[in-house]
Amino acid sequence: MGQNFNTIIDSNTPVLVDFHADWCGPCKMLAPILKQVKESLGDAIKIVKIDVDKNQPLAVKYQVRGVPTLLLFKNGKQVWRQSGVLDKQEIIAIINSNS
């Protein structure tokens, strides 16, 4: 995933990365919220889900110690990060302020 991941985040379109795990309750709560964010913003955002158990090197690289952790990238640079569940409006506001 490493090289492919760099290609994905190196984009003019903001890329929201959701580091999650199958066993994580809050991650399951966040999934439908992210779906609503994508429905609201359409092509203005890319959302990528990364399973920390299947992509450990990536989780280590970005120092993800808890899930869910959201990272926002713009042109390959991390512009924001937060752990935990946020609501749809908070996530949209963060994306809009960084796009």
Choose among 65, 67, 32: nearest CA to 51. Answer: 67
Catalytic residue among 15, 16, 21, 27: 27
Please list, in sequence order, all residues whose beta carbon lies within 8 angstroms of the beta carbon of residue 2, skipping any fewer than 6 positions away. Answer: 57, 58, 61
Catalytic residue among 24, 58, 85, 92: 24
- Does 27 participate in catalysis according to the annotation? yes
Residue 88 and residue 73: Cα distance in Å, rounded?
A: 18
- Does 24 participate in catalysis according to the annotation? yes
Strand residue runs (E) in 1-99: 15-20, 46-51, 69-74, 77-83
Catalytic residues: 24, 27
